Amino acid sequence: MPEGHTIHRLAADHNKAFAERPVRATSPQGKFSDGAALVDGRILETAEAHGKHLFLGFGGGDWIHIHLGLFGKYTLGAAPVPPPTDTVRLRLANPESYADLRGPTACALITDAEKQAVHDRLGPDPLRPGDDPGKAWQRISRSRTSIAALLMDQKVVAGVGNVYRAEVLFRHGIDPYRTGRDLARHEWDAMWADLAALMREGVRNNRIDTVRPEHTPEAMGRPPRVDDHGGEVYVYRRAAMACHVCGGEIRTAGLAARNLFWCPGCQQR
DNA sequence: AGCTCATGGCGAG
DNA sequence: TCGCCCTGAGCTG
């Protein structure tokens, strides 16, 4: 289940395992048979990520555009390739490695122009070197929408999902319901820098950890804990539990069809 | 076996 | 704002 760090990691893993060599492409599920046939046996030139979008480039203006959505999942492994199950939308394989894609929202063959259109409708990505936080600030600073909703809007910032949004707001002591126009430029710049650092670590470890060393259970003299999604976090999915920092109760509420989590004690207006 | 929920996003009203 | 698409895990019976 993917936020931007997952996709950047997948791009790096694809480059390592498949780039610059011919690759076999199939669609055991059958829903991408035509696309797979078009690239089967060709050289995968490069894999690239922007936000939660993955692009596999085969030259000649042919790209496979992949978006995992909420349920999409990749299984990467070393040969031998296991027998495919009937939900594998796309399987890439060479003599050493394989990659199985299941449940994506999008898996389609697109042109250079279509790829560019995707980039054009996405905001800057903290994981793309050179991307400009000022572009996001232009929208944020003019918006009456809550910063919690803005952070999830991929046209504003690309790659942030429900975990990073909750965690970065906590780490900066920002009430999720503050509007974009109520935010100060320095607050946004600090959040952007923090997102870049957190997400880079996410790419490295393939999981989301956001708890500062001084707030770990050991440092706080509390029993060790395990968060149920594979990383150590402050507020995400910790509704009604005690805040690691102030001990207050973590709250949750629906916001734009997603669950928002925050600590009212630590995140003041 | 069937329900609910999940780190997304789209299009119809 | 709602319904819908995609899959699988973790419950409940």
Domains in chain A, please, with CATH?
4-121 (3.20.190.10), 133-262 (1.10.8.50)
| Closest to A141 in 3D by CA, of A111, A183, A104, A108 | A183
Q: Which nucleotide is nearest to A236 (CA to C1')?
A: B7
Give the count of beta carbons closer than 10 Å to the beta carbon of residue A88.
23
Distance A45 CA to C7 C1' (A): 29
Check whether the bond before A80 is cis (ω within 30° of 0): yes
Q: Which residue's CA shows the smallest distance to C1' of C6?
A: A103
Q: Report residue A30's pLDDT band, with 50, 70 and 90 as the boundaries.
A: very high
In angstroms, rounded to a whole number, what is the distance separating the alpha carbons of residues A259 and A54?
25
Assess whether A75 (CB) lies less than 7 A from strand C.
no
Is the CB of residue A235 inside 7 Å of nucleic acid strand B?
Answer: no
Mean pLDDT of A178-194: 97
Find the nucleotide nearest A53 (Cα to C1′): B8
Q: Give the pLDDT confidence of A51-97 residue by residue, as tens digits.
A: 999 999 999 999 999 999 999 999 999 999 999 999 999 999 999 99
**Which residue, among A177, A26, A45, has the nearest Cα to A107 in the 3D structure?**
A26
Tokens of A121: 């409708």
pLDDT in tens, A112-121: 999 999 999 9
- Distances in Å between the Cα of A77 and the Cα atoms of A14, A17, A39, A99, A119 are 11, 9, 20, 6, 29
Question: For residue A42, which amino acid is it?
Answer: R
Minimum CA–C1' distance nucleotide for A160: B7
Ordered DSSP codes for A53-68:
EEEEE-STT-EEEEE-
* DSSP β-bridge partners for residue A67: A53, A106
Q: Tens digits of per-residue pLDDT, A204-219?
A: 999 999 999 999 888 8
| Residue A131 burial (CB count, 10 A) | 21
Give the mean model confidence (pLDDT) for residues A6-18.
Answer: 98
* A16-28 per-position pLDDT tens digit: 999 999 999 999 9
The 10 Å Cβ neighbour count of residue A209 is 15
Name the average pLDDT for chain A.
95
Residue A158's nearest CA partner among A176, A135, A179, A177 is: A135
Closest CA to A239 of A259, A212, A261, A224: A261
Angle at A202 between CA A55 and CA A92, to 5 degrees: 35
- Residues A13, A92: Cα–Cα separation, whole Å: 12
pLDDT for A216 equals 87
pLDDT of residue A226: 64
